[in-house]
Structure 1
Amino acid sequence: MNPYRYSLAYAQELDRDDHLRRFRNRFYFPKVNGHEVIYFCGNSLGLQPKAAKDYIEEDLKIWAEQAVDGHFDSPKPWFTVHKRGKEALAHILGAKEEEVVAMNSLTANLHALMVSFYRPKGKRTKILTEAGAFPSDMYLLESQVKYHGLSPEQTIVEIKPRAGEHSLRTEDILAAIRQEGEELACVMMAGLQYYTGQLFDMEQITKAAHEQGAVVGFDLAHAVGNCPLELHSWGVDFAAWCSYKYLNSGPGNVGGIFVHERHANNAQLPRFAGWWGHNESQRFNMEKGFQPMSGADGWQMSNGNVLGMSAHQASLDIFLEAGMPKLREKSLLLTGFLEYLIREISGDSGMLEIITPADQEQRGCQLSLLIHKGGKAVFDDFYKNGIVGDWRNPNVIRIAPTPLYNSYEDVYRFAKVLEQSLSKFT
């Protein structure tokens, strides 16, 4: 029996019982036509934590009063700014602190990691990824393959859903890995597919690839801060992410990387070295001879953007306080409620189709709605009525109720707007 009900009183009852509801007041909500929006676009840009200003101003004050001395002689020395977020990142990613570090940006980080982990040799050259990957990943893989003098068409293996299906079956991914066998050098794919919202079984994918002698990396842009991750225990070799989506650290802000501890001190792994990846105890000796830091820190190239890191930390501290298990618990209920209402309202109208897996274990916050009638006019109508979602060509609206700051009443109010839109476009 379905536990959900389509009523405002029921939504408000769920909100009263929500142990995470206090976090909603720690974020700013934008307005449309003078009214606070229902913000379901954390999968594209997370809301601003109200504390971000205070965190940034603290470092601005140090800059104003101490200038260069802020690097070493301030309450929060900038020299170690990259260490501030390690506890939270380790919690969010299911990793050890030495395996994670905030640095650079997503695609730059993936390129740096591919330099180390994509090492085509002999017949072992192929990279396996999902078809329809985010463009940055497509371009990344194409350029990496060309850098090694190989053909993208012959080297990059893209797995597509079966005919008539929108999601990839785990069994098909594993079969593709086994089929490539000794020719497979690397699996590099999304942890959560940006368009469909499908969460991949990273544990099984990693195990299958390792059995074939390949390395495994994930783009976690849409998974980090959204879905439960256990990168260390799954044995993932490397991963990278951005922090401006579910991690709410601000537009274009710092990314991050994970490198499994078994690679922490592997001198055989080539890398693009930089000053901040060098042994910090000897960094200011200013000498030749790169000596990488242990763990993920050894892949750093430049010192951190302090003001960006400050905004990042404002959100990371909220994640530590809330805890990923509790966030996941609410996320399942919140998105489950959304799915129930969409199906109740749309019925057999033929207007839309949910292409995100119905299995909760195969998704995060996001539901992707394939629009069959009305096209972008439906999305525009949502916006006019105070719903901020995300349009993706050719005909998908992504809706992502985020457990840190969205409420069950938000979901109910969205349903009322959907009901109104259905009457216009069917």
Structure 2
Amino acid sequence: MKYQNTEAFAKQQDKEDALSHLRNRFHIPKDKNGNEWLYFTGNSLGLQPKSTKEYINQELEDWANLGVEGHFEAKNPWLNYHELLTDKMAKIVGAKPIEVVVMNTLTTNLHLLMVSFYRPTKTKYKIVIESDAFPSDRYAVKSQLKFHGFDDEDGVIEWKPRPGETLLNIEDLESILKFEGDEIALLLIGGVNYYTGQFLDIKKIAEIGHSKNCIVGIDLAHGAGNVQPNLHDSNVDFAAWCTYKYLNAGPGSLGGVFVHEKHAKNKDLPRFAGWWNHNKETRFNMRQPFDVMEGAEGWQLSNPPILSMAAIKASLDVFDEVGMDALREKSEKLTGYFEYLINEIDSDDISIITPKNPKERGCQLSIQVKNADKNLHKKLTQNNIITDWREPDVIRCAPVPMYTSFEDVFRMVTILETLLK
């Protein structure tokens, strides 16, 4: 597509956009005067679908009218409510239903998965992460190392960008495994880096890790609902993600878990147990010994929190209606237009650190502004633009294809250019 730096072009793109109607299905934040904000932080918290209240109210009504019988008699019986989410979530991340379950929250799920898949020995115990991994991932792997009795500094190997560069290079990961692979037990990599927006080659990472008999896990916090990771075909061992960013399920909502089908029937994998990963056929016969379920459900511990799952269901129904292929197609066009407009700004102080190749990024662009500080972010906010500031000089912006328009992007960049001048 040949882009144009005009408001008329942006409006024409919105007019021709087959998904433009989706914007009307979300609540767009407004200022005290009723003006809509330009919202570019779906990578931190997605907007609320207008249907969410209806979905939650249905469960509140069934709770009020049925009490405990809602587990069986509710419109969406609570006993197996999580199963209503499985197929649709599996499509979003490119998995088989047996490989996916919605439960807990992201870091909790990473710990539960590492209980099973991080099985260090005295000589093979190290964990590879990106040098700029999201802090909670770093905290999680360091605490796992300490729990197993290892030094949490010595046990972490960082996959770093090359000197003077910002992005990760897959050849450098190959070198790490070539020279240190015999000491590495686990690779825990963010599939889409939160800071740069780089979408890594998950399948290649799995091949590299497995070549040295390492377990490979992926944090998809910034990937689920943003890119198509094709988790099953990638052959990674496990993955986890949150649902409050691109999946629009609300602040602190439950996370998702993927465990590859090759591990589905391995009941010998060590894991923590609770009654919700016990065989559902005998779960309520309280005298039975533990019998773990097959597949990702075998990592559940507790019965599902229905009100959070209702919000997730509301969002997943929209995703299922549209499909990830259509969303990715629009995302590439929308972010491509955003990139074009940023590059049109006449300033040597601004650059984009996110990969130029659309296949190596999601919708987020990380904009670096030389000599800037958080005052620039504050000025954007004062102009009704919600972005995300990351020290020392990066503004993360995510034009989410579900609800961001081409006109939103044009207006945002116009205001940014004015502020830079």
Does the pair score TM above 0.5?
yes
User: 2: distance between equivalents of 1:33 and 1:194?
Assistant: 31
1:6-405 aligned at under 5 Å gives the runs: 6-34=5-33, 35-345=35-345, 347=346, 349-405=347-403
User: 1: distance between equivalents of 2:211 and 2:264?
Assistant: 21
| Aligned residue identity for 1:32 | D
**Structure 1: gaps of 5 or more residues:** none
For the 8 Å contact 1:350–1:373, the answer to whether it is kept is no
| Aligned residue identity for 1:231 | L
| Aligned residue identity for 2:381 | Y
TM-superposed CA distance for 1:212, in Å, is 1.0
SS state at 1:162 partner: coil
For the 8 Å contact 2:238–2:259, the answer to whether it is kept is yes
User: 2: distance between equivalents of 1:114 and 1:371?
Assistant: 38
TM-superposed CA distance for 1:337, in Å, is 0.4
TM-superposed CA distance for 1:333, in Å, is 0.6
Listed one character per residue, the Cα deviations across residues 27-79 of structure 1 (whole Å, up to 9, x for unaligned) are: 00111342101111000000000000000011111101100000112221100
- Identity in percent: 50
Listed one character per residue, the Cα deviations across residues 311-363 of structure 1 (whole Å, up to 9, x for unaligned) are: 11100000001100110011011011001100101x3x233221111121111
SS state at 1:25 partner: helix
TM-superposed CA distance for 1:179, in Å, is 2.3
Listed one character per residue, the Cα deviations across residues 74-124 of structure 1 (whole Å, up to 9, x for unaligned) are: 221100011111111111010001110110000000000000000012411
SS state at 2:154 partner: helix
For the 8 Å contact 1:351–1:372, the answer to whether it is kept is yes
Cα RMSD after superposing both structures:
1.1
For the 8 Å contact 2:29–2:37, the answer to whether it is kept is yes
**Structure 2: gaps of 5 or more residues:** none
TM-superposed CA distance for 1:288, in Å, is 4.9
User: 2: distance between equivalents of 1:288 and 1:132?
Assistant: 46
For the 8 Å contact 1:27–1:405, the answer to whether it is kept is yes
Task: Name whichever of 52-61 and 68-77 sits farther off.
Answer: 68-77
**Runs of 4+, deviation exceeding 3 Å:** none
User: 1: distance between equivalents of 2:420 and 2:325?
Assistant: 36
Q: TM-score normalized by structure 1? A: 0.97
Q: TM-score normalized by structure 2? A: 0.98
User: 1: distance between equivalents of 2:229 and 2:340?
Assistant: 26
User: 2: distance between equivalents of 1:172 and 1:322?
Assistant: 37
User: 1: distance between equivalents of 2:163 and 2:193?
Assistant: 18
| Aligned residue identity for 1:165 | E
User: 2: distance between equivalents of 1:174 and 1:192?
Assistant: 19
* Residue in 1 that maps onto 2:410: 412
User: 1: distance between equivalents of 2:74 and 2:244?
Assistant: 27
Task: Name whichever of 140-149 and 26-35 sits farther off.
Answer: 26-35
For the 8 Å contact 1:128–1:177, the answer to whether it is kept is no
For the 8 Å contact 2:84–2:313, the answer to whether it is kept is yes
SS state at 1:84 partner: helix
User: 2: distance between equivalents of 1:19 and 1:291?
Assistant: 48
User: 2: distance between equivalents of 1:378 and 1:294?
Assistant: 51
SS state at 1:175 partner: helix
User: 1: distance between equivalents of 2:265 and 2:30?
Assistant: 49
For the 8 Å contact 1:178–1:208, the answer to whether it is kept is no
Listed one character per residue, the Cα deviations across residues 261-301 of structure 1 (whole Å, up to 9, x for unaligned) are: 11112122100111111111111111252211110001001
For the 8 Å contact 2:273–2:299, the answer to whether it is kept is yes
User: 1: distance between equivalents of 2:23 and 2:176?
Assistant: 43
SS state at 1:144 partner: helix
* CA shift in 2, pair 1:288/1:282, >3 Å: closer
Listed one character per residue, the Cα deviations across residues 168-215 of structure 1 (whole Å, up to 9, x for unaligned) are: 012212222222222221110101110111111101000111111111
SS state at 1:217 partner: strand
| Aligned residue identity for 2:267 | A
How many residues are treated as equivalent by the alignment?
420
SS state at 1:256 partner: strand
For the 8 Å contact 1:43–1:366, the answer to whether it is kept is yes
User: 1: distance between equivalents of 2:12 and 2:170?
Assistant: 37
User: 1: distance between equivalents of 2:134 and 2:197?
Assistant: 12
User: 1: distance between equivalents of 2:338 and 2:176?
Assistant: 34
